[in-house]
Amino acid sequence: MTKEFEQMTDSIIQSHNFAKSKYQMSSTIAGAIVAKGVEMVINSKQQRLQILKEIYWEIQKGDIEILMGPSGSGKTTLLSILAGLLTPTAGNVYLLGEEITTMSRTELARFRRHHIGFIFQDFNLFPALTAIENVEAALNVKGIRGKLARKEAQALLEQVGLADKTKQLPRDLSGGQKQRVAIARALTGHPQVIMADEPTAALDSHSGHLVMELLRGLAKEQGCTVLIVTHDPRILDLADRVAYMEDGVLKY
């Protein structure tokens, strides 16, 4: 990493009022997202690769937290572990006070469906379905069907500012609009935790800001906890906190 990049990230973290001291980890599980001693090691024939090194982290309910860091530093790996998409080699993860690292696959799938909304960089929309059908499909997975699903999908698309685009296919939407459909999908079932991996990476600055403002509004109005991985320094001003990952070590 270059000295300039190091200085830039230092000043970003400081400008967000981040003393480089450790978070105060509470002894009870109070935070919405909590990692205790999370490690990820991958063993191949040639080498042992430690991707995450003893991560302790606590994100408070209703906060919007950004995780930054250079490419390959372990951000997606950590996010996937915190969302229950990947099992860590060591350590514990608690979401909304419940330990997910000891859940069975079925329990975890159910927990994820009810409590977590995940937003991907490349939107992950079904290309053959319209905006509203994409949201309805996500509702169907959560057991909401028929007219109720249609009504709810309509309301969610209105909430993300796409009331007039409900019948359009993804290919006829802009990047920012596609990402808003993806956010509407992630919001189905009213999750308390929203996680996003580089949600603004494919967007221009203006659309990126709109998407961030939308996520911030959700965090503040609905008490959702939002964790966003990003490379994008343009959206940092909308976060409550910024953490920084380097070589598998988390700094805050």
Say how far apart CA 252 and CA 239 lie, in whole Å.
13
- Nearest approach, Cβ of residue 245 and ligand ATP (Å): 6
Instruction: Choose between 97 and 233: whose C-beta lies nearer to ligand ATP.
Output: 233
Q: Is 225 in the site for Mg ion (CB under 5 A)?
A: no
For the sheet with 48-59, list strands across it: 48-59, 33-43, 90-95, 98-99
Say how far apart CA 115 and CA 96 lie, in whole Å.
9
Say how far apart CA 111 and CA 105 lie, in whole Å.
10
- Nearest approach, Cβ of residue 229 and Mg ion (Å): 6
Kindly identify the residues of this chain, within the stretch 58-87, that bind ligand ATP according to CB under 6 A: 69, 71-77
DSSP calls for 165-210: GTT--GGGS-HHHHHHHHHHHHTTT--SEEEEESTTTTS-HHHHHH
Q: Is 42 in the site for ligand ATP (CB under 6 A)?
A: yes
139 contacts 145 by C-beta, under 8 angstroms: yes
Residue nearest to Mg ion (CB): 76
The 99-128 site mask, x for binding Mg ion (CB under 5 A), equals ------------------------------
With CB under 6 A as the contact rule, the residue among 38, 51, 182, 196 that binds ligand ATP is 51
- Nearest approach, Cβ of residue 239 and ligand ATP (Å): 17
Say how far apart CA 9 and CA 6 lie, in whole Å.
5
Which residues sit opposite 59 in a β-bridge?
A: 33
Q: Is 76 in the site for Mg ion (CB under 5 A)?
A: yes
Instruction: Choose between 191 and 248: whose C-beta lies nearer to ligand ATP.
Output: 248
Instruction: Choose between 9 and 77: whose C-beta lies nearer to ligand ATP.
Output: 77
Helix 175-186, helix 131-141: angle, nearest 10: 20
Say how far apart CA 100 and CA 52 lie, in whole Å.
18
Kindly identify the residues of this chain, within the stretch 144-163, that bind Mg ion according to CB under 5 A: none
- Nearest approach, Cβ of residue 234 and Mg ion (Å): 18
Q: Is 9 in the site for Mg ion (CB under 5 A)?
A: no
Which partner, Mg ion, ligand ATP, none, binds residue 72 by CB below 5 to 8 Å per kind? ligand ATP
Residue 19's SS3 state is coil
Which partner, Mg ion, ligand ATP, none, binds residue 191 by CB below 5 to 8 Å per kind? none
Instruction: Choose between 69 and 191: whose C-beta lies nearer to ligand ATP.
Output: 69
Distances from the Cα of 144 to the Cα of 140, 237, 244, angstroms:
5, 36, 38
213 contacts 38 by C-beta, under 8 angstroms: no
- Nearest approach, Cβ of residue 159 and ligand ATP (Å): 29
115 contacts 93 by C-beta, under 8 angstroms: no
Count of residues in contact with ligand ATP, rule CB under 6 A:
11
Chain residues in the site for ligand ATP (CB under 6 A): 42, 49, 51, 69, 71-77
Chain residues in the site for Mg ion (CB under 5 A): 76
